[in-house]
């Protein structure tokens, strides 16, 4: 094996780890989409706005108020959970059971409102969230890894593990699974769909806020309004993995993140500068052509 091959292999590995970190973030965001959809059958376009809000709230608490970064992040995640739950309860719940386009347009309106409020308070210029790792790197087995990517991978793994343990073994998680499986049967067993919906919106908001904080770090590109658009890339992840599959959301996020990072690093010049931005949707289209329900989605069965 030549030194050139070793260098190329090292670069491929580093890009792959960076893709895993980005994919893990997409997976966390996509999981928020899936949770709300399974509990309420609503595709929550406001999720990107919640991610944006989490990033700016952390900046405000840490940089403006001088609180420690980690405390600022925890407060931002909790506030995002509250804002998301209130938005679901006050603005979306009254429309449940009506035309699906009504709820979709309401969540789009919430997204636009959150973007406008964030721009009016913090402006549209790129800001420095003053995250603790900044551009720090770590040498490991010949690889130069950013500390931020390692934190992202660790936090995402911990969050996803905690969620799946909660979803599988807790009473509330069991109620959420029952509601997602058959809403009417769950209601007959005394499970309140409104309560489950509120919990789902809150969990989704917390996940979105956490992902927004990580997207707004120095290595993530800095704090800017484009975070909301970056978060919405996770929509392609849930379509790839299956819109009603929590595990599929994670797998879809990793697939999209890895593909996007390799495209950004190695796409030929003739493909254009924006190929990495377009690739998630190209992957989504290819998957839909092969499996219309996504890799792990449940096919709808209709009796006629």
Interval 284-298: pLDDT, tens: 999 888 888 888 877
Q: Residue 33 — pLDDT band, cuts 50, 70, 90?
A: very high
Spell out the alpha helix ranges (H) of 88-223.
100-122, 147-169, 171-181, 183-188, 193-215
> Would you say residue 269 has pLDDT above 80?
no
More confident residue, 135 or 71: 71
> Would you say residue 159 has pLDDT above 70?
yes
As beta bridge partners, residue 127 has 223
**What's the pLDDT at 218?**
74
Q: What percent of the chain has pLDDT over 70?
A: 95
The pTM of the full predicted model, rounded to 2 decimals, is: 0.89
Q: Residue 300 — pLDDT band, cuts 50, 70, 90?
A: low
Tell me the pLDDT tens digit for each residue of 175-222: 887 877 777 777 777 778 788 889 999 999 999 999 999 998 877 677
**What's the pLDDT at 106?**
94
| Range picked from 29-43, 92-106, 136-150 for highest mean pLDDT | 29-43
Could you tell me if 214 and 152 are in contact, meaning their C-beta atoms sit under 8 angstroms apart?
yes
> Would you say residue 46 has pLDDT above 60?
yes
Nearest Cα neighbor of 148 from 217, 55, 210 is 217
Spatial separation of the C-alpha atoms in residues 286 and 303, rounded to whole Å: 29
More confident residue, 191 or 117: 117
Mean pLDDT of 235-241: 89
Residue 90's contacts (CB-CB under 8 Å, 6 or more residues apart) are none
Token pair, residue 33, equals 């989409």
The mean of the pLDDT values for the chain is 86
Could you tell me if 79 and 212 are in contact, meaning their C-beta atoms sit under 8 angstroms apart?
no
**What's the pLDDT at 194?**
81
> Would you say residue 1 has pLDDT above 70?
no
> Would you say residue 49 has pLDDT above 80?
yes
Mean pLDDT of 115-126: 91
DSSP 244: T
> Would you say residue 264 has pLDDT above 80?
yes
Q: What percent of the chain has pLDDT over 90?
A: 37
Token pair, residue 123, equals 């402006």
**What's the pLDDT at 2?**
42
Q: Residue 5 — pLDDT band, cuts 50, 70, 90?
A: very low
Residue with tokens 């506030």: 79
């Amino acid at each position: 094996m030549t030194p050139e091959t070793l260098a190329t292999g090292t670069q491929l590995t580093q890009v792959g780890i960076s893709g895993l970190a980005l994919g893990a973030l997409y997976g966390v965001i996509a999981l928020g989409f899936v949770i709300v959809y399974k509990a309420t059958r609503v595709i929550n376009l406001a999720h990107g706005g919640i991610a944006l809000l989490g990033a700016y709230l952390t900046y405000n608490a840490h940089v403006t108020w001088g609180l420690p970064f980690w405390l600022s992040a925890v407060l931002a995640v909790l506030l995002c959970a509250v804002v998301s739950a209130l938005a679901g309860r006050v603005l979306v719940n009254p429309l449940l059971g009506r035309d699906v386009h009504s709820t979709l347009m309401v969540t789009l309106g919430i997204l636009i409102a959150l973007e406008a409020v964030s721009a009016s308070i913090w402006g549209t210029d790129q800001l420095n969230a003053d995250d603790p790792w900044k551009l720090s790197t770590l040498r490991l087995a010949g690889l130069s890894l950013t500390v931020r990517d390692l934190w992202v991978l660790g936090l995402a793994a911990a969050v996803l593990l905690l969620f799946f343990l909660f979803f599988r073994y807790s009473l509330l998680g069991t109620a959420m699974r029952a509601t997602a499986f058959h809403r009417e049967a769950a209601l007959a067993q005394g499970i309140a769909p409104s309560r489950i919906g509120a919990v789902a919106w809150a969990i989704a908001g917390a996940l979105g806020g956490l992902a927004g904080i990580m997207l707004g770090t120095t290595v993530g590109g800095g704090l800017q309004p484009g975070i909301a658009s970056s978060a919405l890339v996770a929509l392609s992840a849930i379509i790839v993995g299956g819109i009603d599959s929590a595990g599929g959301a994670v797998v879809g996020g990793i697939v999209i993140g890895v593909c996007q990072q390799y495209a950004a690093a190695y796409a030929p010049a003739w493909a254009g500068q924006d190929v990495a931005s377009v690739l998630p949707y190209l992957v989504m289209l290819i998957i839909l052509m092969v499996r219309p329900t996504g890799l792990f989605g449940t096919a709808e069965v209709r009796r006629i």
